Structure 1
Amino acid sequence: MEISIKTNLYKRSNARWMIVVFLFIVTAVNYGDRATLGIAGKAMQGELGFNAADMGWVMSSFGIAYVIGQLPGGWLLDRFGSKRVYFLSIAFWSIFTLLQGTVHFFIGAWAIIMLFTFRFLMGFAEAPSFPGNSRITAAWFPAKERATAVAIFNSAQYFATVIFAPIMGWLTHEYGWQSVFFFMGGIGILVSIATLVVIRNPKDHPWANEAEVDYIKEGGALIDMDQKKSGGKKQGPKLSYLLQLITNRMLLGVYLGQYCINCLTFFFISWFPIYLATERGMNIKAVGFAAAVPAIAGFVGGISGGVFSDYLMRKTNSLSISRKTPIVTGMLLSMTMIFCNYVDSIALVIFFMSLAFFGKGIGALGWAVMADTAPKEMSGLAGGLFNMFGNASSIISPIIIGYIVAWTGRFEWALVFVAVHALIAAFSYLVLVGPINRMELKK
């Protein structure tokens, strides 16, 4: 028996880990595109005449469209499957990223109008990306490996800064801010083409053998999501199902937590480089490298949080303990960014921001919770709704931070604003969410 078990384990393929590596690459490009304004923003403000409030509105345009697109994006994923929708999403958001490099051809107010428009369209095209990631993860990974898988692709947001911020800073310095958008848009178009080869259902994928498919199915993976949609009558979401999603206490707590966590995310990818350049007086080339240090800490924290969560899952067999412990711990650690208000040393600023980013990485398990809790009949739509609530923060927080900075001329209260969101996220998971389990829809 022991020999037979070892043989079966040896023969099992590991295609699921190749899939999550690809999700990591896609997510890195996704966040690299979002971070373009954070790196190129100061140069654009100088050339095109934007102030901090203008930049806040431009940054929020992405979030407005991203939120609007969540429910349609989730519905498209459930109706047409992950592969086609994922490909089109990546291709179109990359095109609109590239087009942002052309706004200098427009005169006066038209430049900011066109930048707002291209950023808006990019956000709308990106809407299915994270619900797609969650959907693909739920189809490919058993519950005991799911947090690690989610942590891997989610940590790409930090890796994107580590890799792309120095490159984008160098491009801005050497070739102008336009080159940043051309570079990132071009990479995204290439990645979209690769999607057609890599993303498939577990049962249909040439990289996955029967032993692996059986293993992930027995572990709770929803391997039949797209097969069920491939034939027969395809129906849109029922209103009663949608009402159940938005009135469930557990999910409402998760939505609030994700809203607050995303406030930290968008501060780091949007305002943090500008904070270093304006508040701390760093040149744009140095900003790209300095911003990479907290991003490395976030990357390490992100992987650590997922591995720790799955370790707790194996030890306790409790989704509540295994998911809540890293999230609450990480959010409390993120509040250390407030200490930046009391130091003058750049090295200490980078240290405290790195500590905060490490904590944010540990606590960024919202998508793992979503993969654990979304009803299997509406995984895409549930993920879209979750992302819609979470990314309402991408509309509100950039605008508020922009006005705080414009009114006060400094970032102290902006850092307090972000840190309070970390505290609310911890409260939400501790008090509001309750036991974590997969929601069952009432027919």
Structure 2
Amino acid sequence: MDTSTIVLTRKRTNFRWAIVVFLFIVTAINYGDRATLGIAGKSMQTALGFDAAAMGWVMSSFGIAYVIGQLPGGWLLDRFGSKRVYFCSIFFWSIFTLLQGSVYFFTGAWAIIMLFTFRFLMGFAEAPSFPGNSRITAAWFPAKERATAVAIFNSAQYFATVIFAPIMGWLTFEFGWQAVFWFMGLIGILISFVVLLMIRNPKDHPLANSAEVEYIAQGGGLVDMDQQACADDEKAQGPKLNYLAQLLKNRMLLGVYLGQYCINVLTFFFITWFPIYLATERGLNIKEVGFAAAIPAICGFVGGLSGGVCSDFLMRKTHSLSIARKTPIVMGMLFSMTMIFCNYVDSVVWVIAFMSMAFFGKGFGALGWAVMADTAPKEICGLAGGLFNMCGNASSIISPIIIGYIVAISGRFEWALVFVAAHALLAAFSFLFIVGPIKRMELKK
């Protein structure tokens, strides 16, 4: 009797799904912390006398630090393992979130400086979060389930605002804007200690039996990743500098990085400019914008889960990572280009319909983290994920500025929508013609 037959005769635990639910919760808190300034910002400006320019700099501080912190965060994950770095990341970003409430005690320029500093440090502390998610997923899930797992935790970005915005709005109204930061900071601190109980290697976890561990390992899961990362010889050296050069020379990963940058252009358009588009181009008031913007977000959530399930279904049927991952990505990106049709309709209903289709397509094709879990070298999953996230989130700094100039020069959003849709086409092109076969990269020692 072979090993696979033995595994099937034992009752297998399914603790890996509890792990992904925990990642969903952490990711929702992550995006909730990012949204605090959006909810409390207007009251803060009134109380502390910020102008729009100062608030703009404060808002940018997170993105700048988040991008800068990706490579150091990934390196720390590879050197010290997921558990310790994930705990420290959540704990410290929550501390810096909480401290933003203390800006209440400062005035004038010092209030701006302190808020910028705390927001910057929060972004830097959050940098290992998504590479950590990818690393944990690579350890806990076989390839045929990995896209669904990634889709579940990644979908938290769509629901974070729905979950936390009403609570934060009520706190601001009842107790003042500073209560928002104290509330979100305390939640994060509490969750960080749960990491110490939840996040371990599959081989070491008391709630995952040997049958589950063997099932994960046979499916390509890196069940002993942290044991390898923390071996004495590796721990002493950390990832070698030439590893980074190998990542940057690998055609497959360069195509994945380019694709993720383009996909995130769509993400940040919906986060930053889409509400403004509805208000200025389509004449909706603030209340109407809130409801209208929620519909595409829900479609994005549905698309994200559907894309993950579809990818894993294709993996089981074809046993090909390239077909399983590329098909939803390319289909989703092409479908997201329906946003261009908004340029040819006057009805707000049709605008919301086309934008909902586009955001569904974006969610359906947002499998970049699944691809990263499939392809990152096992010795440096954290570093590879950090470089991937750095490239993807560079769009959070670049694309909103470019869209702003397009709108300022043209006075309308038509070419801005074309700009965003062109990135969806480029993402599809990258995965079709640059990435090549999807497989785990092997490092040259």
Judge same fold: TM > 0.5, yes or no. yes
Could you tell me which residue of structure 2 aligns to residue 129 of structure 1? Answer: 129
Query: Using the alignment, how far apart are the partners of 1:275 and 1:182 within structure 2?
Result: 32
Could you tell me which residue of structure 2 aligns to residue 142 of structure 1? Answer: 142
Match of 1:392 among 394, 399, 402: 394
Could you tell me which residue of structure 2 aligns to residue 332 of structure 1? Answer: 334
Could you tell me which residue of structure 1 aligns to residue 426 of structure 2? Answer: 424
Could you tell me which residue of structure 2 aligns to residue 185 of structure 1? Answer: 185
Query: Using the alignment, how far apart are the partners of 2:406 and 2:36 within structure 1?
Result: 22
TM-superposed deviation, 1:306: 0.6
Query: Using the alignment, how far apart are the partners of 2:144 and 2:94 within structure 1?
Result: 34
TM-superposed deviation, 1:438: 0.9
2:258 alignment partner AA: L
Could you tell me which residue of structure 1 aligns to residue 245 of structure 2? Answer: 243
TM-superposed deviation, 1:357: 1.5
2:359 maps to 1:354: no
2:210 maps to 1:196: no
Could you tell me which residue of structure 2 aligns to residue 372 of structure 1? Answer: 374
Query: Using the alignment, how far apart are the partners of 2:100 and 2:355 within structure 1?
Result: 29
Please identify, of 136-145 and 193-202, the stretch whose mean Cα deviation from structure 2 is larger.
193-202
Query: Using the alignment, how far apart are the partners of 1:287 and 1:176 within structure 2?
Result: 24
Query: Using the alignment, how far apart are the partners of 1:403 and 1:112 within structure 2?
Result: 26
Cα shift readout 1:28-79 (whole Å, capped 9, x = no counterpart): 111222233444455556664433x655543332221111111111111111
Could you tell me which residue of structure 1 aligns to residue 30 of structure 2? Answer: 30
Could you tell me which residue of structure 1 aligns to residue 20 of structure 2? Answer: 20
1:194-343 equivalent positions in 2, closer than 5 A = 194-233=194-233, 234=235, 235-276=237-278, 287-343=289-345
Please identify, of 365-374 and 172-181, the stretch whose mean Cα deviation from structure 2 is larger.
172-181
Asked if the contact 1:100/1:119 (under 8 Å) is kept, the reply is yes
Query: Using the alignment, how far apart are the partners of 1:188 and 1:151 within structure 2?
Result: 22
Query: Using the alignment, how far apart are the partners of 2:349 and 2:174 within structure 1?
Result: 26
Cα shift readout 1:232-274 (whole Å, capped 9, x = no counterpart): 2312221222111101111101001111112222233344445
Report the TM-score when normalising by structure 2. 0.89
TM-superposed deviation, 1:17: 0.5
TM-superposed deviation, 1:102: 4.4
Query: Using the alignment, how far apart are the partners of 1:416 and 1:38 within structure 2?
Result: 27
Query: Using the alignment, how far apart are the partners of 1:391 and 1:33 within structure 2?
Result: 17
TM-superposed deviation, 1:138: 0.6
TM-superposed deviation, 1:133: 0.5
Asked if the contact 1:62/1:394 (under 8 Å) is kept, the reply is no
Query: Using the alignment, how far apart are the partners of 1:358 and 1:9 within structure 2?
Result: 40
TM-superposed deviation, 1:25: 0.8
Please identify, of 256-265 and 57-66, the stretch whose mean Cα deviation from structure 2 is larger.
57-66
2:183 maps to 1:164: no
Query: Using the alignment, how far apart are the partners of 2:241 and 2:135 within structure 1?
Result: 21
Give the secondary-structure state (helix, strand or coil) at the position aligned to 1:208. coil
Query: Using the alignment, how far apart are the partners of 2:182 and 2:107 within structure 1?
Result: 20
Cα shift readout 1:54-109 (whole Å, capped 9, x = no counterpart): 55543332221111111111111111111111011011112222333444554445
TM-superposed deviation, 1:369: 0.5
2:63 maps to 1:63: yes
Give the secondary-structure state (helix, strand or coil) at the position aligned to 2:438. coil
- Structure 2 runs not aligned, ≥5 long: none
2:362 alignment partner AA: K
Give the secondary-structure state (helix, strand or coil) at the position aligned to 1:35. helix
Asked if the contact 1:254/1:366 (under 8 Å) is kept, the reply is yes
C-alpha RMSD of matched pairs (Å): 2.8
Decide whether aligned partners of structure 1 residues 59 and 205 sit closer, same or farther in structure 2, where only a CA change above 3 A counts.
Answer: same
TM-superposed deviation, 1:431: 1.6
Could you tell me which residue of structure 1 aligns to residue 88 of structure 2? Answer: 88
Give the secondary-structure state (helix, strand or coil) at the position aligned to 2:394. helix
Asked if the contact 2:304/2:365 (under 8 Å) is kept, the reply is yes
Asked if the contact 1:217/1:223 (under 8 Å) is kept, the reply is yes
Query: Using the alignment, how far apart are the partners of 1:102 and 1:279 within structure 2?
Result: 38
Query: Using the alignment, how far apart are the partners of 2:348 and 2:101 within structure 1?
Result: 31
Asked if the contact 1:100/1:115 (under 8 Å) is kept, the reply is yes
Decide whether aligned partners of structure 1 residues 418 and 7 sit closer, same or farther in structure 2, where only a CA change above 3 A counts.
Answer: closer
Asked if the contact 1:332/1:359 (under 8 Å) is kept, the reply is yes
Decide whether aligned partners of structure 1 residues 179 and 356 sit closer, same or farther in structure 2, where only a CA change above 3 A counts.
Answer: farther
Decide whether aligned partners of structure 1 residues 425 and 123 sit closer, same or farther in structure 2, where only a CA change above 3 A counts.
Answer: same
2:51 maps to 1:50: yes
Give the secondary-structure state (helix, strand or coil) at the position aligned to 1:73. helix
Query: Using the alignment, how far apart are the partners of 2:297 and 2:10 within structure 1?
Result: 36
Please identify, of 42-51 and 303-312, the stretch whose mean Cα deviation from structure 2 is larger.
42-51
Decide whether aligned partners of structure 1 residues 24 and 327 sit closer, same or farther in structure 2, where only a CA change above 3 A counts.
Answer: same
Please identify, of 399-408 and 290-299, the stretch whose mean Cα deviation from structure 2 is larger.
399-408
2:385 maps to 1:383: yes
Query: Using the alignment, how far apart are the partners of 1:108 and 1:404 within structure 2?
Result: 33
Asked if the contact 2:93/2:122 (under 8 Å) is kept, the reply is yes
Could you tell me which residue of structure 2 aligns to residue 439 of structure 1? Answer: 441
Asked if the contact 2:229/2:379 (under 8 Å) is kept, the reply is no
Decide whether aligned partners of structure 1 residues 128 and 252 sit closer, same or farther in structure 2, where only a CA change above 3 A counts.
Answer: same
Asked if the contact 2:79/2:239 (under 8 Å) is kept, the reply is no
Cα shift readout 1:140-176 (whole Å, capped 9, x = no counterpart): 1111111111111111111223323444455556665
Report the TM-score when normalising by structure 1. 0.90
Please identify, of 349-358 and 211-220, the stretch whose mean Cα deviation from structure 2 is larger.
349-358
TM-superposed deviation, 1:279: 5.3
Identity %: 82
Give the secondary-structure state (helix, strand or coil) at the position aligned to 2:232. coil
TM-superposed deviation, 1:410: 5.5
1:81 alignment partner AA: G
Decide whether aligned partners of structure 1 residues 310 and 268 sit closer, same or farther in structure 2, where only a CA change above 3 A counts.
Answer: same
